[in-house]
Structure 1
Amino acid sequence: MKDRKMTHLRFDYDIGRFKPVTVVERGFHCPFCGREQLENILAQEGSIVWLKNKFPVLEDTLQTVLIETEDCQSELSVYNKEHLHRVIRFGVEKWQELVRSGEYSSVLFFKNHGPYSGGTIRHPHMQIIGLKHLDYVPKIPQESFSGDVIVKEAGIELNLATLPKIGFIECNIRLRDPAKIDVMADYIQAVAHYLLHHFHKNCNSYNIFFYHLEEEIAVKLVPRFVTSPLFIGYSIPQISSRGAEVVREIQLLYFAEGGAALRAEGKSS
C-alpha cells in the first residue's frame, strides 16, 4: 500500500497531552498493571498481551503495544530464557502478521527502555506500528548493519556497526535462518544486559529496532544518552574509539567460558 509518498508523521497533540508518564516518577498509575482494565486486546499468550494503543498520537497509523510481562519492574535483560524466547517469537510473529496483511506501506517494531529512550511507560513493552503512507526502508542506511563480528554461527551474526546510523555504539543482529530466532533473542538479551550493566556507569536506557532487510531480519540495539547536536543539527554520526574494546568485552562477558563470574563484577566506567 504505497499510494502516497510521505516523509513525516503527524503527531496529534490533543491526544498526546493526556498520555501517562511512568518512565520517570510523576505520580501516574501504570496503565499496563491493571490487566482487568485493558481494552482492545488483539492477542494474548500467557502474561504477554498485544493490544491497540490507548493513545494513538500518530495519524494514519495503527499503533499497538506488546506488554511483555505482568511484572512492572522487570526488564528484558533479566527474563528467564523460556519467557525471553516467547516474547521475541510472539513479537516477531505479530509484526510479520501486519506486514503480510498488505494494509501498510511499512510496519515498525521497536522497544524503548529507560528515561533517555524516548518512551513514556516504565512497564516492559514493545510497540508495533503500521504506517499507512510512509515506507521507512529508504531512510535506513544499509551499511549501518555491517560491522565487526562479535559472535557468529550459521544463519545468524552479532556485530558492532562500523558505520553506525546515529553514532558511537550500535550492535546489530542479522538473522538469515528463521529457525535461529531463539538465538537472536539470546543475542538481544546479552547486548541489553551489557548496555545496562557493563557498557558505561551512566547508561540506563536503550532502544531495540527490528527491520526487514530483503531475505533477513535485522535488529539494532542502541544505548541512549542525550543525542549529539552534530547529529540533530547536521545528521553527522560519530564513531567511537572504544569499538574494539566493546567487541572484546561482549565476547568475554557473554560468549566465553567464565563470563558469568566476570559479569558479577558490575559496570565499567
Structure 2
Amino acid sequence: MKNNPLIFKLKIAKNKPSTFRKDKNNVCPFCDVEHLTDIYKQKEEMIWLHNRYPTLTDTLQTVLIESDDHNGDITTYDKNKNRKLIAFARDCYWETEKTERFQSVLWYKNYGPKSSGSLIHPHMQIVGLEKEDGYKYIQANNFEGITVLKKENIEVNFSTHPIQGYQEINVNILDNGETDLWADWIQISAQYVLEKMYNGRTDSYNLFFYPRFEGEGFCCKIIPRFYASPYFVGYKLSQCNDNENLEQEVKKLNEFALEKMGE
C-alpha cells in the first residue's frame, strides 16, 4: 500500500498557542469567545469554527469548542451536557462529510499531555482531507472485540484487533439514530480509562470516531495514551493484551458502569 503522508506546515505550527509548553503563551484563545472568528455554528456554549492554525496542506481544519469551562471534559460533564455535545458534534461531522470537496473526513478529540493536543480547553477536531483516504489503514475488525454490552443500537467491546494497543474500548452505534445511550457509554468509557484502567495511572486519551463500514452508524474508539511502543512507531504493528486480561477489564468496566449509572 502506497504511503502518502499528510504534509505538516511547521511555520504555522510554531505560532500555535500551547497550554502544555512553558515556552509558549498560555493565554487560552478558546476562553476569549468575543474575539473568535470564522464561526460555522453555535449551540449554547458549544462553538464550531475554522481552525486559526491550519497546519496540514490540502485540508479543511475545524475546531469544536465543547464548553466555556476551561478545565471541563467529557469525563466531568453532567449526562445531559455530554449528550448534547455528542449529538452536536455528529451533526457538524455530517455537515462536513456531505460536501463533495473531501475524500474523507476525520473527527477526533485529544485529552491530556500525551494525546498530541496543544490546548487544555476542551475541544474536538473535524478535519476534511481533500486528497487522502484517512481510513485506508482501518479494518472492520478494528471495531470488534470482547463484548461489554449489547443494548438497543449500542455495542461496547474491548478491541481484539486494536489500531495501536494495548487496551482500546470500542463504543459502536449501529445506526444513524438516537445518540443518547452512545454518548453515555462514551463518557463512562473515558471515565474508566482515567479512573480505573492501569490503576488510575492514565492521564491522557484520544477519542476517534469512525463511520462504520456497513454504511450506518459510528465507532467511537477510546484509546488510553502513553508513549508509543517501538513496534508501532517503527513497524505499524499494534499490540493487544491477552484475552484473560481483556475479560478482566470487561468485568471491571461493567462494574464501573453500574456504579456510574447508579449515581
CA distance in 2, matches of 1:44, 1:7: 34
Equivalent residue letter for 1:125: H
Q: Which runs of 5+ in 2 are unaligned?
A: none
Which is worse superposed, 176-185 or 152-161? Answer: 176-185
Which is worse superposed, 131-140 or 87-96? Answer: 131-140
Aligned length: 256
| SS of aligned partner of 1:247 | helix
For residues 19-46 of structure 1, what are the alpha-carbon distances to aligned partners after superposition, in whole Å with 9 as ceiling and x for unaligned? 1111455551111011111111111001
Q: Which residue of 1 aligns with 2:76?
A: 78
Which is worse superposed, 115-124 or 240-249? Answer: 240-249
Q: Choose which of 5, 15, 20 in structure 2 pairs with 1:18.
A: 15
Instruction: Give how far 1:177 is off.
Output: 2.8
Equivalent residue letter for 1:11: F
Q: Is the 8 A contact 2:54 2:61 kept in 1?
A: yes
Q: Is the 8 A contact 1:160 1:243 kept in 2?
A: yes
- What does residue range 145-160 of structure 1 map to in structure 2 within 5 Å? 145-160=143-158
Instruction: Give how far 1:260 is off.
Output: 4.2
For residues 134-165 of structure 1, what are the alpha-carbon distances to aligned partners after superposition, in whole Å with 9 as ceiling and x for unaligned? 01222212211101111111221011101111
| SS of aligned partner of 2:180 | helix
For residues 236-264 of structure 1, what are the alpha-carbon distances to aligned partners after superposition, in whole Å with 9 as ceiling and x for unaligned? 2111132111111110110x3xx24999x
Q: Is the 8 A contact 2:176 2:216 kept in 1?
A: no
CA distance in 2, matches of 1:260, 1:75: 16
CA distance in 2, matches of 1:15, 1:260: 42
Q: Which residue of 1 aligns with 2:114?
A: 116
TM-score with structure 2 setting the length = 0.93
Q: Which residue of 2 aligns with 1:266?
A: none
Query: Equivalent pairs: percent with the same residue?
Result: 36
- Aligned pair in 2 of structure 1 residues 143, 29: CA closer, same or farther (>3 Å)? same
Matched, 1:240 2:238: no
Q: Is the 8 A contact 1:24 1:115 kept in 2?
A: no
Q: Could you list the runs of 4 or more consecutive aligned residues of structure 1 that deviate by over 6 angstroms after TM superposition? A: none
| SS of aligned partner of 1:101 | coil
For residues 170-196 of structure 1, what are the alpha-carbon distances to aligned partners after superposition, in whole Å with 9 as ceiling and x for unaligned? 011121133331111001000110011
Q: Is the 8 A contact 2:154 2:182 kept in 1?
A: yes
CA distance in 1, matches of 2:201, 2:91: 34
Equivalent residue letter for 1:231: F
Q: Which runs of 5+ in 1 are unaligned?
A: 264-269
